Structure 1
Amino acid sequence: MLHGSQLARLLGRWDAGRGVPDYAALATAVRGLLSDGRLPLGVRLPAERQLAAALGISRTTVTAGYRLLRETGHVTSRRGAGSWTTMPGGARVGAAGIWTASPAPDMIDLGRAALDAPPELASAAAEALTDLPRYLGDVGYHPVGLIELREAIARGYTDRGLPTGPDQIMITSGVQNALDLAIRLLVPVGQPVLVESPTYPNALVGFAARRSRMVTYGIGEAGWDRELLLDILRQNRPRAAYLIPEFQNPTGHLMPVDLRERLPAAAHAAGTDLIVDESFVDLALDIDEMPPPVAAFDRHARVLSIGGMSKTYWGGLRIGWIRAAAPIVQRLAAVRVGVDMSGPVIEQLVAARLLAHAQTVVEARRARLRRQRDVLVAALRERLPEWRFRVPAGGVTLWLELDAPISSPLCRTVEQDGVRLAPGPRFGMDGTMERFLRMPFTLPEADLLAAVDRIVRARGELDRPYRRSYESPALVA
């Protein structure tokens, strides 16, 4: 349940003025929070008397505001039990993933927040071929992965302050495969799960495929509201919670240490397993020392950390992993046998060799992303000053708040001019996030500047009155 003070903090300055009744302004403000993903879906609202006291208004005004929200389908109430936030028509995943056909050669594709391959990959692949003969004498099925790769990844966790052995690591076919296996193990069909809003679109698709009942937690401009997140865990008791604490996709926020400390204990008390996505953990751009992993504070084997090589190294190298307690890894391996048996041996050997060059690769990636981010930030501030965003200290994306709820039409318009973007609704539940847009800074500076120029033109097109055009019919003979 939201406390009155928590909702009041989310609402900020909600009084519309200009002759709008207070109850209507309150309902409009709540709808705005829901549509922007800042107010969770499925959360119980404060009692009318409590919210009235927190806002300094009459209870009658709150009662009328709640009634208006019920009429528009944004609140559902049950006598004696309270009122819950909803969306008209129910909450659904906005799109079935973010796959699109391969772009035309001259398309600036900013729909995919990923980098091209590092130069070290070719030499790592050549070195891996010398390792391959060791494995040719067996059948090639390794459900938990090759030992040398598991050892390399375990060392990485140990270096981050989380002692880890290879028996706590399972290699997967990318991060999405890791998430799918975790969902299959932890979440029975139809059970509730907690997801951030906004969040990674393909995670929403994975939970939707399991017919999970998704409870959302809105990430605001300042990141995670600690007490609200912990309250939602305690009240909803989801079977699993999917979180991205390192440079959250798409907002770029970095979870503070004190929340990392409290999350595992709160999850254990609620009977919730935490699926922690660490895909961007190596891409700190302005931070000298990263906070400890969430799993470093886990005392009850409640945290499954997932990661991979797609974001830091190359998406074409389909290598991911899960870090968990050794018995859980064995259970995951049993689940995997019914999915894909095991990952390809040669790719795992390439990954192990590439990780030997990790320091060189990661430093080069960070320097490149820092330059590209700063170029994109400067261009947006100059050309689109009315758009709001914070500069992330890591990761690969900006999360832009637009000057109007135009994300989807803007993306459709600018694609006709050769720029592909992922609109805000892809990152939330159906009907939300139209005021937001994700823009990665993974492409070269020249492409980013050209993309901004075309976005500016597309934004201007949306302000022009629509004129129907007529074309002469084609001659058919």
Structure 2
Amino acid sequence: MAPSLNAAALSRLLGPWNRGAGPAYRELADVVRLLILDGRVPLETALPSERALSAALGVSRTTVTAAYTSLREQGFLSSGQGSRGRTRIPDLNPFGPAIFGPAKAKEAGGTGQGWTGAGAMSAPGLAAPEGILDLAYSALPASGELVHRAFAAALTELPALLPGFGYDAIGLLPLRQAIADRYTAAGVPTHAGQVMVTSGAQHALTIVLRTLADRQDRVLVEHPSYPNALDAIRAARCRPVPVAFAHGGWDLPALETALAQQRPKLAYMVPDFHNPTGMAMPDAQRRRLVRAAAAAGTVLVADETLRELNLDGVATTPLAGFSPHVVTIGSLSKSHWGGLRTGWIRASEAMIGRLAAARTTVDLGGPVMEQLAAAHLVRALDEPLPARLATLRTNRAALLELLRGHLPDWQTPVPAGGLSVWCRLPAPSSTALTVLAPEFGIRLAAGPRFGIGGAFERFLRVPFTLPPEQLETSVLALRAAQDKLNAAPQLRRTLTTAPAVAIA
């Protein structure tokens, strides 16, 4: 059954949406659109009826009707039975009327055929590719030939496994052994019994939370942190304990204090090319962190999904190298392709047993073909990396040059690894830029999605996973969106006060 949202629930999500900075229907439509784009209102969700929502919000039904009509024109709401349309993402044609309708295209300063915005960005300078450029995702396309070759090899190996039942909560031995060998080569002796294969890193974290944490347990997190991890922590009904970064890195005294005082059940950390900042934690800090966690009785969960994307050759030891009690999460999503949906957990053998027992209440194991292919990819992990890292270095340099040239008032620290730049904006306008972004042909992840309680309005994560020519289009679009905000301070205030999304 498709999900639906009642008027009271939508009213809570909307928060103080009506700031009086423009027509009420437009403010309502803008905030609902942001909720859809940020994922707080899932796709294919039926919105409340016009009558019910107008009563819940204390506004006229005409206001709600006009807001719903605007959302339908923009393509964010289907034409359902009566007034209960379902949320959707439009098939966006950048800079044209399909994004916000002819009226909004004219408000933006354009004609509906191509946008010419406030601040002298012209349509030729913002030539759009097919579709919309998605900067909300920080991921690479597949290492195509290698992935194809791995699946071809897996197909020849599959017949030998067909007589079996096909269920394995821990994972196929060849893949677990290949993963174990990678850890051993990195200086962390590991055997296959210490590895569980999962359907990606997010699945791995969900299993860890389900096994080791109860409702209302505290989970320490870096602040900012990976939005999907925050999502998993909240879905487990745990309480995230955020610890902010110091200038230029981890604040070890603050982490030690939080561990000692809060005594969280778990600490979720991304020490290797942290998402979204791209920083790497020095080994000396890793030792201190492990000692502090042990003293607090906290299980350290290290997400190493980005560890292989070491752009500057930073030398670090995996966190598990400092303690046998560290639980490590890994994945092929960033190094090879997110579509593989192959991840893993590395822990003590006893812990793997506990995790496997908890997993069987959710699923009975991963698909066999994918695991056979993944075993080939893990064993040949070094083959695609040099070329991928070289491409990422080129893209990183291009993005930084573009940002510094077109948005010189943005602070753009150079990440040591990973896939994105964590930009500091000159004003708290991250959500406002995210709301406007589709109007200019790009999709963004607002800074508050990486934090708790609406933090990080002055930050925006910009990936460098696209080729340089698309990065140029993206940065020009960002400049155009900022120009529009600069030309209309009232618009900035209206959009920035929309409810910020802390998770994604």
State which of 282, 287, 292 in structure 1 corresponds to 2:317. 292
Displacement of 1:102: 8.6
State which of 417, 438, 441 in structure 1 corresponds to 2:461. 438
Displacement of 1:407: 0.2
Name the CA distance, whole Å, in 2 between partners of 1:457 and 1:202: 29
Q: Which residue of 2 aligns with 1:226?
A: 252
1:110 alignment partner AA: L
Name the CA distance, whole Å, in 1 between partners of 2:387 and 2:166: 34
State which of 389, 393, 414 in structure 2 corresponds to 1:391. 414
Q: Which residue of 2 aligns with 1:448?
A: 471
| Matches for 1:48-197 after TM superposition, within 5 Å | 104=92, 105-118=130-143, 119-197=145-223
Q: Is the 8 A contact 2:272 2:281 kept in 1?
A: yes
1:132 alignment partner AA: L
Name the CA distance, whole Å, in 2 between partners of 1:440 and 1:263: 29
Q: Is the 8 A contact 1:246 1:255 kept in 2?
A: yes
2:410 alignment partner AA: W
| Matches for 1:201-220 after TM superposition, within 5 Å | 201-220=227-246
- CA-to-partner distance for each residue in 1:391-416, whole Å, 9 max, x for gaps? 01111010000010000111111211
Displacement of 1:355: 2.2
Residues 1:353 and 2:383 are matched in the alignment: no
Name the CA distance, whole Å, in 1 between partners of 2:265 and 2:490: 52
Q: Is the 8 A contact 1:97 1:201 kept in 2?
A: no
1:324 alignment partner AA: A
State which of 319, 324, 327 in structure 1 corresponds to 2:342. 319
**Corresponding pairs, count:** 372
Residues 1:458 and 2:481 are matched in the alignment: yes
What secondary structure, in the 3-state scheme, does the structure 1 residue paired with 2:317 have? Answer: coil
1:459 alignment partner AA: Q
Q: 1:370 to 1:350 in 2, by over 3 A?
A: same
State which of 301, 306, 310 in structure 1 corresponds to 2:333. 310
Residues 1:200 and 2:200 are matched in the alignment: no
Name the CA distance, whole Å, in 1 between partners of 2:91 and 2:340: 20
1:215 alignment partner AA: V
Q: 1:365 to 1:102 in 2, by over 3 A?
A: farther
1:407 alignment partner AA: S
Q: 1:310 to 1:103 in 2, by over 3 A?
A: farther
Q: Is the 8 A contact 1:96 1:205 kept in 2?
A: no
Residues 1:367 and 2:393 are matched in the alignment: no
Q: Is the 8 A contact 1:309 1:315 kept in 2?
A: yes
2:162 alignment partner AA: L
Name the CA distance, whole Å, in 2 between partners of 1:321 and 1:361: 20
- CA-to-partner distance for each residue in 1:374-400, whole Å, 9 max, x for gaps? 000000011111101210111101000
Q: Is the 8 A contact 2:400 2:412 kept in 1?
A: no
Displacement of 1:315: 0.3
What secondary structure, in the 3-state scheme, does the structure 2 residue paired with 1:275 have? Answer: strand
Q: Is the 8 A contact 1:103 1:109 kept in 2?
A: no
1:275 alignment partner AA: V
What secondary structure, in the 3-state scheme, does the structure 1 residue paired with 2:231 have? Answer: helix
Name the CA distance, whole Å, in 2 between partners of 1:112 and 1:191: 30
Q: Is the 8 A contact 2:278 2:415 kept in 1?
A: yes
Name the CA distance, whole Å, in 1 between partners of 2:366 and 2:422: 34
Name the CA distance, whole Å, in 1 between partners of 2:462 and 2:329: 24
Which ranges of 4 or more aligned residues in structure 1 deviate by more than 4 Å?
94-105
Name the CA distance, whole Å, in 2 between partners of 1:324 and 1:97: 33
Q: Which residue of 2 aligns with 1:83?
A: none
Name the CA distance, whole Å, in 2 between partners of 1:448 and 1:97: 27
Displacement of 1:292: 0.6
Moved more, 258-267 or 365-374: 258-267
Moved more, 259-268 or 344-353: 259-268
Q: Which residue of 2 aligns with 1:412?
A: 435
Moved more, 114-123 or 457-466: 457-466
Q: Is the 8 A contact 1:257 1:292 kept in 2?
A: yes
Displacement of 1:99: 8.1
The alignment-based identity, stated in percent, is 44
Name the TM-score, length of structure 2 as normaliser: 0.71
State which of 391, 401, 412 in structure 2 corresponds to 1:378. 401
Q: Which residue of 2 aligns with 1:266?
A: 292
2:381 alignment partner AA: A
- CA-to-partner distance for each residue in 1:284-320, whole Å, 9 max, x for gaps? 0111x52111111115x2x100010011110000100
**For structure 1, which runs of at least 5 residues remain unmatched after alignment?**
1-93, 469-477
- CA-to-partner distance for each residue in 1:85-116, whole Å, 9 max, x for gaps? xxxxxxxxx96579885964421111100000
Name the CA distance, whole Å, in 2 between partners of 1:445 and 1:358: 25
Q: Is the 8 A contact 1:399 1:437 kept in 2?
A: yes
Name the CA distance, whole Å, in 2 between partners of 1:229 and 1:348: 37
Displacement of 1:220: 3.2
Q: Is the 8 A contact 1:97 1:202 kept in 2?
A: no
Q: Which residue of 2 aligns with 1:244?
A: 270
Q: Is the 8 A contact 1:424 1:436 kept in 2?
A: yes
Q: 1:171 to 1:102 in 2, by over 3 A?
A: farther
